[in-house]
A and B are shown apart, each in its own frame.
Chain A
């Protein structure tokens, strides 16, 4: 299913301060992709992402959003920042961050945004 790397399923890297975010995404991604979670205080996020080459990246803090941005820009990989307090999603689209006004931060909304980004129907 992986569109870019020949893997069986899309690989989503989730760098999260709130581990339950990974738990929530794991269920909504069942059958669609493989969720790989990393702690929110991870150092050298850029290096990790370049090694892992995920099909999409999800983060839940601003510092990690910033850290993941160069990889996402260089590889055109969808990057979603989940704003847990505001219950909003921020996505990197065409190099700019955009808060999705009509999407809440539900696992299904995150999944839909990622799927659209991964399969290229909507540039993320």
Chain B
């Protein structure tokens, strides 16, 4: 019988030892392990594993970078795992090429089931993580819609909206953009009208939904 080759890529010895010990009792598994990306590449060079269980914090650049890299090089089913995964992390792992995501608190039998499932082409994802992923996809869709709506704004209106979202008053916006306070007021009115929003506060919330904090930082640097 050909055994399923499992790679445990984790810098924490307890997890490598734990999975190794657990799977040693299962006749259909063979385990290899790696403590960092270099180790992973050495293992893969010696023979592609069927499934790789990759720690989110795998040195040196993390599990998602590792998944992205391996997705180009091999056909191994990749599962990322971590403590207390966050919505964005799970989504980022899947978008990078992971076939599933697991909690490190997983019960031994659950892990065995997940690994066998991965070999059969299933996507190991606990119920709470599946809900998280769906929520993340909805958030992305909401963001895409908001960005589409924001396309009606002129470049100057976008700049004004960025500053409004950061809580700047009209006078501060006028100073930052070298325009009059009256012009700022007119831009704000236009923004609210175009986006059909009732207030500056609603405009700020819209900005966060559409562009998130990264754009606001850029706006801050601009100011």
The contact string, 1 if C-beta is below 8 Å from chain A, for chain B 1-40, is: 0000000000011110111111010000000000000000
Instruction: List the A side residues contacting B104 at CB < 8 Å.
Output: 18, 20, 84
The contact string, 1 if C-beta is below 8 Å from chain B, for chain A 81-103, is: 01011010000000000000000
Question: Given contacts A17-B105, A18-B105, A85-B83, are A23 and B13 in contact (CB under 8 A)?
Answer: no
B108 interface neighbour in A17, A20, A28, A40, Cβ under 8 Å? A20
Is A53 close to B, CB under 8 A? no
Separation of A18 and B16 alpha carbons in the complex (Å): 13
Question: Given contacts A26-B21, A27-B21, A85-B83, are A21 and B108 in contact (CB under 8 A)?
Answer: no
Is A52 close to B, CB under 8 A? no
What is the count of residue pairs linking A and B with beta-carbon distances less than 8 angstroms? 57
A27 interface neighbour in B12, B17, B107, B111, Cβ under 8 Å? B17
Q: Which of A26-50 contact B (CB under 8 A)?
A: 26-28, 40
Instruction: List the A side residues contacting B111 at CB < 8 Å.
Output: 20
- B83 adjacent to A20 (CB under 8 Å): no
A23 interface neighbour in B12, B18, B105, Cβ under 8 Å? B18
* Chain B facing A: main interface SS: helix
- A19 adjacent to B21 (CB under 8 Å): no
Most chain B CB inside 10 Å of its own CB: which residue of A23, A82, A107: A23
Instruction: List the A side residues contacting B107 at CB < 8 Å.
Output: 19
Nearest B residue to A82, CB-CB: B14
Is A24 close to B, CB under 8 A? yes
Instruction: List the A side residues contacting B15 at CB < 8 Å.
Output: 20, 24
Is B106 close to A, CB under 8 A? yes
Is A2 close to B, CB under 8 A? no
Separation of A20 and B19 alpha carbons in the complex (Å): 7
A: number of interface residues (CB 8 Å): 20
Question: Given contacts A24-B18, A27-B17, A27-B21, are A19 and B12 in contact (CB under 8 A)?
Answer: no
Instruction: List the B side residues contacting A19 at CB < 8 Å.
Output: 105-108
Is A56 close to B, CB under 8 A? no
Is A105 close to B, CB under 8 A? yes
Q: How far is the CB of A15 from chain B (nearest CB, A)?
A: 13
Instruction: List the B side residues contacting A22 at CB < 8 Å.
Output: 18
Separation of A22 and B17 alpha carbons in the complex (Å): 10
Is A9 close to B, CB under 8 A? no
Separation of A79 and B36 alpha carbons in the complex (Å): 31
Q: How far is the CB of A47 from chain B (nearest CB, A)?
A: 24
Separation of A37 and B21 alpha carbons in the complex (Å): 15
- A105 adjacent to B21 (CB under 8 Å): no
Separation of A17 and B104 alpha carbons in the complex (Å): 9
Nearest A residue to B10, CB-CB: A20
Nearest B residue to A107, CB-CB: B17
Q: How far is the CB of A64 from chain B (nearest CB, A)?
A: 13
